[in-house]
Each structure stands twice: as C-alpha cells, then as structure tokens.
A and B are shown apart, each in its own frame.
Chain A
Amino acid sequence: METNTADGESILLVDDNPTNLQVLYQTLEGVGCKLLIAKGGELALSIAAKALPNLILLDIMMPGIDGYEVCQRLKSDPTTANIPVIFLSALGETGDKVKGLQMGAVDYITKPFQPDEVIARVNTHLTIHRLKQEVERRKDELEHELEVVSVVQRRLLPKQLPTIDGYRLAVRYDTSRYAGGDYYDIIGLENNCWGFLMADAEGHSTPAAVLMAMTCALFRAYPGVASDPAQVLHYLNEHLCKVADPSFITALYAVYDAGRQTVRVARAGHPLPMIYRAAEKKAEELSCPGVFPLGIEAYEEPIPVAETKLQPGDRMLIYTDGLTERFNEPGEAYGEQRLLQQLGTEAGDDPQKVLAAIIEDVQRFAGQHPADDDQALLLGIVSK
C-alpha cells in the first residue's frame, strides 16, 4: 500500500483574478499534484464535478456565484461533498472565517498569503484527505468481509426446525453486528429423543464467529449418539480448550425425550433454561448447577445433569444472555424476571406467537437503545 503517493492527484485553484491565480499556480507547482484552474464559480463547479480534485482552493469574493455558494453547492452534491475546500480570501474578519468553516471548508487562508504557509496547509489537507479515503476503503473492506462471515455463519444454523412428536419448536436468531458468537443446533437422537444445543462464544463479530463455527463443527462431529448432556459438554470442552484461550464459550445442552416428555440438561456457564408450567400458570428457571464455560480448562468434577418432566402446554425456553442483558436508555437490563413473566404470556400454544410476544416485549423495553450483543432463543411447547 502506498498512501503517500501524489500520483494522479489534482488541486483545483479558483480565483477571478488572473494574477492571483498565477501566483497560486507558481506557489503550488512543487507539491507534485496536477493543478487545475477556474476563473469563476460556475466553471469551478463543472471542473470539480468532472475532475473530482483532491483539494479545492477557493476564493470568496468573485463576480457571479461567490465562493460561499460554490462551497455550499459542492457540499450538497454527494459526488463532490467529500472534496476538502480551503477558502482563500482577503477578508480577514473572524466572522468570515467562521462562516467559511461552518459551510464545510476545512481551512481558511487570508490573502496576502505566505507561499510557505499555503504549501504547508495544502500538504496537510492532502494527507488528511488521503488517510480519510484509506480509512473509508478499509472500513468498506472490513464490512464486506463481515458480511461474508455472516452469510457463511447463517448456513451453519439448522435450515429448518425438525418436526418432533408432541413438541412444537420456534427459534429466533439475531446478531448485533454482521456476524456473531451465538449458535444453536438441533439433532435427532435414538428412541425419539432430540438434542438441543445453545452456545454463546464470548465477544462479537469475527473472533466470536470463528469460535461459533468451531463449536458447530465439533458438535456435528460428535462420536456416537449425543444423548448424555454431560458427556457432550465434556467432549466440546476438551477440544475447545485447545483453541479458545483467552476467550470462552457458554453452552447448554438439553436432551428432550419426546416419548416420555422429559428433558435432561447440562450447562457450562450458560443461563438456566426457563420452564413455564401450564397447570400452575407460572414460569421458573430450571435449577441446574453447572460448570464454568467451555474452552477454559478441563472439568475435574463431574458435570451435573438436571432432569424434569414436562406436561401438555408446558413451555421450555433456552436462550443466550443477549436477550436478558438487552439494555434500555436508562441503562437497565431486561433481566430474567421480566423474561419469566413473558414466557407465561397468553399468546396461545403456538411457539411462534409466544416467541414473537417475547421479542416484542424486549423491543418495547429497549426502545431506541440498540442491541449490543447477539441473541438466540429456542422455544418448545408440549402439545396438548
């Protein structure tokens, strides 16, 4: 990358006085840019639009349209708005300088000028302009890369939800930026059992997305049938410990037995599952002592597994903390209590509707405050 080259760069000099133009031209001949000249405002605008110079030196007092108007029109046209403008004028009053700068000029030089000062200021603004363009270019590149990561990442998620006997599912997955660290997966196991994985790689954007993809690849390559929640977490941890440092991944793995309507859960640093009991019309967190997140170090103690039985109409929500840690303007978090209340919402037995009601409530709570974390929710309802 060469950022300092003046190749192909040009400066447009605008003044109605031919002598001034000549002096300016001679002053700037040595800066290594092509010099364009315009003797009036209209001509300046048409040259600027065609040549897109890297800098414009603009006289203020000119017959016809004056420098202020030229500047205004340059700034209101998106193609020329980013070209830096330096006003050059005999007007030395502070008010004129302020007016010029407020119109979007980057600098103001008072005539009669010192050639060295003009050269120094021109070089400074050319450098700033180059760096600005470079930053813009890098930003575009980065955004493009993140978009690609995001597309690939979404392909890692289940394409559609499976049909499970007597258990209806709905899912929601949002990333706060292009790519994220949240991951969920659902796999069919033996004997009408299903495995639900919910994971959250610490951080956002590309680093988190890489760990998310690793977790996905590892889970899909699980040797044997992933029907023991503790063993699944042990397995993921063993492999993620080799790559995650200094980051980590929280995860929850639940095995749902569709025949017996029981669920067995193990978790590593992940929020507890929430269960709404239809008979009691009450939601609570499933008590499930867990271990620390995946990717830090080996678990020396056995990973606890909690088990519970679900009844018709019961709802189970597993989610990532981007939901409960969604903030509003005053800085309050959405929180587990409000989520528990919403899980019991009177939205019927359609998991899509219940999930939509939850999301709507979170939006209502957060208002205009943007999400700064990724969020994923997987909701299941036992059919009546």
Chain B
Amino acid sequence: MKITRKEENGIVAVAFSGRLDADSSPVADKAVKEILDGQTDRLLFDLGELEYLSSAGLRVLLSAAKEMKRRGGKIVLCSLNEFVKEIFEVSGFQSLIPITDSVESGQQMLA
C-alpha cells in the first residue's frame, strides 16, 4: 500500500493505493494519526487507486471521520472503485462518511 499526501487551499488530500487490509492498516493508521495531529479540519481521502479494503481498513477511515466530527471539521471519500463502494454499502458505512465520485466534487463538498 502507498499513501501520498498533499495540501491545497486548506484541504489535506490523502491518496491510498493498493490494499488497505489487516497487514497495511497499522501503517495507514499511523499516517492518518500524524495528519490529524495537525490543525486540519478539511480532509479528503482519494481512494481512486485503492484496490481492496478490509474491516481493519474501514476502522482507519472511521477513526479519521470520528476525529473530524469531534473537531467540527469535514471529511469526504472520493473515487471509490466498484468493489470498495460495495463494501461501503453492505457495511452501512456510507451513512457514516460522505462519499463522492470524483476528487473535484470532493473538493467542492469541502469548500
């Protein structure tokens, strides 16, 4: 799994690629926590290159969403592939974390 991060117009965009599962989630969790240590209140997760997401991965995304809610910030997940989208639907997570089709629409939602 690869995680890249960039900051633009007050939005921290984090792109995950590869598999976010039990093996890679500790690394992802640490990376997300480091980002949340900052003052960020606009968080965009670009999942366009994410191939697989397990429940351990869901927990990482959920922790970020909970923290953003706590600090009154906003979070959005963008560009989920069909498989990842289905996981969100079956697991009911789409009602916990906003999802959108593209990074552009995600940026608008956070603007």
Contact = CB atoms under 8 A, between A and B. Distances in A.
A204 B92 contact: no
A interface secondary structure, majority: loop
Given A203-B56, A325-B54, A246 B63 contact: yes
Interface residues of A, number: 24
A247 interface: yes
Contact of B92 (A202, A291, A333): A291
A240 B96 CA distance: 17
A248 interface: yes
Interface residues of B, number: 17
A292 B91 contact: yes
Contact of B22 (A297, A333, A372): A372
Contacts, number: 51
A269 B92 contact: yes
Contacts of A105: none
Contact of B62 (A200, A203, A296): A296
Given A246-B62, A246-B63, A372-B22, A293 B91 contact: yes
Nearest to B95: A292
A11 B90 CA distance: 62
Interface string A236-261: 00000000011110100000000000
B62 A248 contact: yes
Contacts of B52: 333
Contact of A321 (B23, B55, B59, B92): B55
B82 to A, nearest CB: 13
Interface in A207-256: 245-248, 250
Interface in A243-288: 245-248, 250, 268-269, 271-272
Given A272-B90, A292-B93, 18 more contacts: A202-B55, A202-B59, A203-B22, A245-B66, A246-B59, A246-B66, A248-B62, A250-B91, A269-B91, A269-B93, A291-B92, A292-B92, A293-B92, A296-B62, A296-B96, A321-B55, A325-B54, A373-B22
9 contacts: A202-B58, A203-B59, A246-B66, A250-B55, A269-B93, A290-B92, A291-B95, A293-B92, A325-B54
Interface of B: 22-23, 52, 54-56, 58-59, 62-63, 66, 90-93, 95-96
